[in-house]
Structure formats: C-alpha cells, structure tokens
C-alpha cells in the first residue's frame, strides 16, 4: 500500500508541484545563510531602495534587505505552520476518533466540548489572546492557533471515523480482547493516515494565513523576522501608498506560494484517498490506439 502511495504521489502533477514548492521553502528555512548574504535585521543599507543587483527586492523603510528578510523569515513561518498544524491535528485526531469509537456518553461529552470550542468566534479570540500576551513570539502563536484550530478538524475526523466503525477488523480487535485505547491508537488511526495528512495540510495552510494576519495587525513580535512582520512594517511604512511595492508584495507572494504548496498537496491526498476524484485521462486517444492494436492483431 505504501508503494502505491508513493507511485500515486509521483504521478500526480499537483502533488509534484506542491512537493517541490514545499521542499524549496524547507531548504530556505533550514539553510538561509546559503541564499541570503545579508543579515535580515541589520539596518545597514540605504532606506527604501528599489530592486537591484545588490538588493534583489530592494530595502525596507529601516534599511534592511528585503530578500534576506524573506529568506530568513521562512523559518518562523514554517515553524508555526508545522508546529500548530501538527499539534492541532493530533489533538483533533485523538478527540474526534475517541468520540466516534467510544460512542454513547463519551461521544456526547466530547462532541459537546468540541462544539463549544468550535462556536467561539475564531479571529476575535485570536486577537484577544494575542493582545493579552504582548509581543507574542512563535511559541505563543503556535499555542493560540492550536487551541482555536483543533475543533473543526475534530468534527471532520469524528464523522470519518464513524463510517469506519462498522469495519469488521475493529469488531475482531474488540472480540480479541484489546483495550479501547489500543484500538483507537493502533487499529483506527493508522487506517486514517491519508485523512490525517489532508487535515494537517489544511490546518497548516490556515495557520500560515492566521499567523501572518496576527503579525500584520501588530500582535506578533515586531522585532522577529517573519513574513507577517514584514507586512506589518511595510504597512507602517505606508509602502504601498508611497510606491515601495516590493516591501509588501514580496512577503504577500511568499505567503501565497506556501499556501499554494499546502493546498496542492491537499488536493493530491484527497485524490489518493478518494479515487472518484482522480482526473480521468481522455479515453478517445486511447481508443484510437487500442483499435490500431486490435487491427494489428487481426493481421498477425
């Protein structure tokens, strides 16, 4: 099954594109020094320069190199995306699947808890929390995003687990004498891998957007290097109004590209999990080819 998974991924153009994009960003995050000569925080250059050979995307209102900021900022964004994405998916998986499997009272209690958290308006809550904790660093952002992000995924995974509950191998495990915790962790969750990965990718995507939004409105740590803070300073600098477009476009484009990477991979995993969504190759060309082959057969 794993072999077919890799083969399916390799064959899907969406997966390949998404994977390449994500790989590029990961490399940038891990080895920023290889790509950007300048330090992102050094206010060493002339302010508000346009693009040139020395500064690929120009400089900011404080004299920092935009390209270096974009490259170094990748790390924080990916940390948040993976950190919050993984954490919220894990919590959602445990709560959602446990609710589905245990049923009865536990399902009622866990679902009620999930629904309450779900109903809390997300963005205002984010703002309140982030404002309360001044200058939220990466850790706080991850915690906040995880707390608000798990409930929707938990409902999704619960309904998917409910449909798996009637599988005989779960009844076989129960009759065999396995404990409920074992069944949830070892028998159910591994069969939902593609669903979990898709949930993670969705969460990662939204975490990138939300984190950047929070930083943009100033609730992040303005001294950290991140795409969201780049947007914050660009706004502060009135970059768009004064014509220094790159200061705003570069971080915006980076966010969009990373989001697209997650979205493409998400589509690809959806197609793998649900064959009905797979694009169908045009049959007409093959029919012509097949009829040529059958003609050759008749002649042989």
DSSP character at residue 136: B
178 binds another protein (CB under 8 A): yes
**What does the per-residue mask of binding to another protein show for 277-296, with x meaning CB under 8 A?**
---xx-x--xx--xx-xx-x
- Is 176 among the residues that bind another protein (CB under 8 A)? yes
Among 13, 31, 167, 180, binds another protein (CB under 8 A): 167
Q: Which is nearer to another protein, 11 or 37 (CB)?
A: 11
CB of 206 to another protein, least distance (A): 28
Taking the complex as a whole, the smallest distance from the CB of residue 182 to another protein amounts, in Å, to: 9
For every residue of 62-93, DSSP letters joined together read: TS-BHHHHHHHHHHHHHHHHHHHHHHHHHHHH
- Of 27, 44, 172, 180, the residue at the interface with another protein (CB under 8 A) is 172
Nearest-approach distance from CB 141 to another protein, in angstroms: 34
Closest C-alpha among 227, 196, 202, 204 to residue 214 = 227
Q: Which two tokens stand for residue 187?
A: 């028998």
Closer Cβ to another protein, 37 or 286, answer by number: 286
Give the distance, in angstroms, between the CA of residue 284 and the centroid of all CA atoms in the same chain: 38
Site for another protein (CB under 8 A): which residue of 6, 124, 177, 223?
A: 177
Distance between CA 178 and CA 122 in Å, rounded?
A: 39
Backbone angles phi, psi at 44, to 5 degrees: -100, -15
190 touches another protein by CB under 8 A: yes
Is 30 a residue that touches another protein (CB under 8 A)?
no
134 vs 293, beta carbon nearer another protein: 293
Output the CA angle 104-105-107, nearest 5 degrees.
70
Binding test (CB under 8 A) with another protein, winner from 36, 193, 260, 263: 193
Rule CB under 8 A: say whether 8 interacts with another protein.
Answer: yes
Rounded CA-CA distance 190/25 in Å is 28
Helical H segments across the chain, by residue range:
2-11, 13-30, 32-35, 66-102, 104-119, 122-132, 138-164, 168-176, 180-182, 193-216, 227-236, 239-242, 246-273, 283-299
- Under the binding rule (CB under 8 A), the answer on residue 6 touching another protein is no
Closest to another protein by CB, 27 or 290: 290
Please work out the total of residues on this chain that contact another protein, with binding judged by CB under 8 A: 31
DSSP-derived secondary structure letter, 277? G
Instruction: Name which position in 44, 171, 240, 257 contacts another protein (CB under 8 A).
Output: 171
| Structure letter (DSSP) for residue 220 | B
Q: Whose Cβ is closer to another protein: residue 166's or residue 223's? A: 166
Binding status of residue 104 toward another protein by CB under 8 A? no
Non-local CB neighbours of 80 within 8 Å, separated by 6+ positions: 138, 141, 142, 145, 207, 208, 211
Q: Residues in the site for another protein, rule: CB under 8 A? A: 1, 8, 11, 166-169, 171-178, 187, 190-191, 193, 280-281, 283, 286-287, 290-291, 293-294, 296-297, 300
């Amino acid at each position: 099954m794993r072999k077919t998974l890799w083969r399916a991924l390799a064959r899907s153009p969406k997966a390949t594109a998404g994977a390449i994009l994500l790989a590029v960003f990961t490399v940038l995050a891990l080895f920023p020094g290889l790509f950007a000569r300048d330090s992102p925080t050094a206010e060493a250059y002339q302010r508000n320069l346009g693009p040139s050979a020395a500064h690929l995307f120009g400089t900011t209102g404080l004299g920092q190199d935009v390209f270096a900021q974009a490259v170094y900022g990748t790390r924080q964004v990916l940390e948040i995306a993976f950190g919050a994405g993984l954490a919220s998916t894990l919590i959602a998986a445990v709560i959602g699947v446990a609710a589905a499997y245990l049923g009865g009272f536990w399902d009622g209690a866990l679902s009620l808890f999930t629904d309450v958290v779900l109903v809390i308006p997300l963005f205002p809550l984010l703002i309140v929390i982030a404002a309360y904790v001044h200058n939220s660093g990466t850790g706080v952002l991850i915690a906040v995003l995880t707390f608000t992000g798990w409930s929707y995924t938990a409902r999704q995974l619960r309904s998917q687990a409910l449909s798996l509950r009637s599988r005989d191998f779960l009844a076989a495990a129960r009759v065999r004498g396995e404990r409920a915790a074992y069944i949830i962790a070892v028998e159910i969750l591994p069969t939902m891998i593609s669903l979990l990965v898709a949930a993670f990718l969705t969460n990662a995507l939204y975490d990138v957007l939300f984190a950047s939004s929070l930083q943009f409105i100033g609730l992040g740590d303005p001294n950290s290097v991140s795409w969201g803070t780049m947007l914050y300073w660009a706004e502060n600098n009135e970059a768009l109004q004064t014509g220094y477009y790159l200061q705003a476009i570069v971080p915006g484009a980076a966010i969009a590209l990373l989001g697209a990477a997650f979205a493409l991979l998400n589509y690809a995993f959806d197609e793998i999990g649900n064959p009905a969504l797979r694009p169908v190759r045009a049959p007409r060309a093959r029919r012509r080819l097949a009829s040529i082959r059958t003609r050759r057969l008749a002649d042989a």
